[in-house]
Structure 1
Amino acid sequence: MLTRTLIDTAEIPGGGVLRLMQRGDEFSIMLGANELMNSRLSGSEEALATMSLDRLSGVSEPHLLIGGLGMGFTLRAALASLGPDAQVTVAELVPEVVDWARGPMGEISGGSLDDFRVDIRIADVGDMIRANRGAYHAILLDVDNGPDGLTHECNEGLYDRKGLQAAKAALRPGGLLSIWSAAPHPRFAKRLRDTGFIVEEVRVRARGGGRGAHHIIWFAKA
């Protein structure tokens, strides 16, 4: 049996430590006993990108903001569906996560971080949203476990009324806010609607091919 090996650790600003683990060709990112990401489970993260872009069809030169690099599945899926005139900004709070994507998980990221359409920022995505009014055709958030902050309490500020209003202001007219979550959250869907978004809630599988646990993606149109 293959054993799980610790590859590296990273401190989360504000508290907490991420651990990058490897077992054979499988990687996972852990916070305490919680597995935040696993390289075998990419289906819902890829769906966050592909289903968002389906809803942006017809937009020329789209500019996307992705909050949270993770293992890069959302970024790779977005780039595979976008043309050469697109721009993708990725905000990642923990610099080591970017290092891991370029280093031990380089085969998973597939060089996507160095794509000419990509701008990687070591930054809080909330700060970028508040600083860039009317800048994005779509904002894709795969931050924490969804609306309930797990890794960083400040992440919850992305999902409260004020945070959603800031996201709406950062979108271009008719833009799309897409949010990944590990679990349903009825009160959050209502909060999105109360902020003025047209909301669609979709259940997706954690793995490709319709397998694995169900996750939730909200597509909120401004």
Structure 2
Amino acid sequence: MIPWVQLDSAKTPDGGQELRLKRRGAEFSIMLGTNELMNSRLSGSEEALARLSCERIAGRKQPKILIGGVGMGFTLRAALAQLPDDAGVVVAELVPAVVAWARGPMAEIFGGSLDDPRVTIRETDVGHIIHSGISTWDAILLDVDNGPEGIVHKGNDALYGAAGLGAARAALKPGGVLSVWSQGPDNGFTRRLKQAGFSVDEVTARAHGKRGARHVIWIATNGK
């Protein structure tokens, strides 16, 4: 079996943990300690995050999309495949090294999506962007942790609490959607979404084909 090779590492924003980019043949993995955050062979649920979100806002003129987390580009590529030519997509990434990995060792996976004229990359906290706009976004897609809690960056906890969800709802246009990816279910988060005023659908998506792990995607619609 081909062994894993570590290509690079980067500290998390709080400096307390380390992200590691690893490669085995054509396969990539991003690790946080012993926890695998993402793998290039497992893209199904990230693509579903984009597909389900774009379906909800289909037909809108000049849709504006905010994606939290560059990851391995699966969500971005799936969104671009469905969005019209006049769309605008902002991708927020808190760890600059992840953007460098996307443009460097993993460039083939990204397939030029970072250079799509519809795309803007911002190396900043997605929460800052959310708080800076009112009725700005047609969709906000969050895949910045393994679920609705701050694993990579504890500051991300603020995205999933009452105040963060209230800010997200305010940042969305009427009928806009907040979509959140998770490794598994979280009944408390479903309840907080509803308490924040969203209409909520909780969808299960496979990580890979029909046999991959079952991940959860919340599609929360702003009814204001």
Q: Which TM-score band applies after superposition, normalised by the shorter structure?
A: over 0.9
- Structure 1: distance between partners of 2:205 and 2:134: 30
- How many residue pairs match? The answer is 221
Deviates more, 1:103-112 or 1:55-64: 55-64
Aligned to 1:163: 164
Aligned to 2:207: 206
Question: What TM-score does the superposition give when structure 2 sets the normalisation length?
Answer: 0.97
The 5 Å alignment of 1:39-188 reads 39-188=40-189
Kindly report the root-mean-square deviation, in angstroms, between the aligned alpha carbons of the 2 structures: 0.7
The SS at the match of 1:21 is strand
Shift of 1:211: 2.7
Aligned to 2:220: 220
The SS at the match of 2:212 is strand
2:43 is aligned with what amino acid? S
Give structure 2 stretches of 5+ with no counterpart: none
> Structure 1, residues 89-114: CA drift from partner, whole Å, max 9, x if none?
00000011011111100110001001
Shift of 1:27: 0.2
The SS at the match of 2:207 is strand
| 4+ residue segments displaced more than 4 Å | none
Shift of 1:210: 2.5
Deviates more, 1:113-122 or 1:139-148: 139-148
- Structure 1: distance between partners of 2:175 and 2:167: 15
Aligned to 2:8: 8
Tell me whether 1:195 sits opposite 2:201 in the alignment.
no
- Structure 2: distance between partners of 1:130 and 1:62: 19
> Structure 1, residues 108-138: CA drift from partner, whole Å, max 9, x if none?
0001001000000000000000011111000
> Structure 1, residues 19-58: CA drift from partner, whole Å, max 9, x if none?
0000110000001100000000000000000111111122
Aligned to 2:24: 23
Shift of 1:79: 0.5
The SS at the match of 2:62 is coil
- Structure 2: distance between partners of 1:14 and 1:131: 22
- Structure 1: distance between partners of 2:143 and 2:37: 11
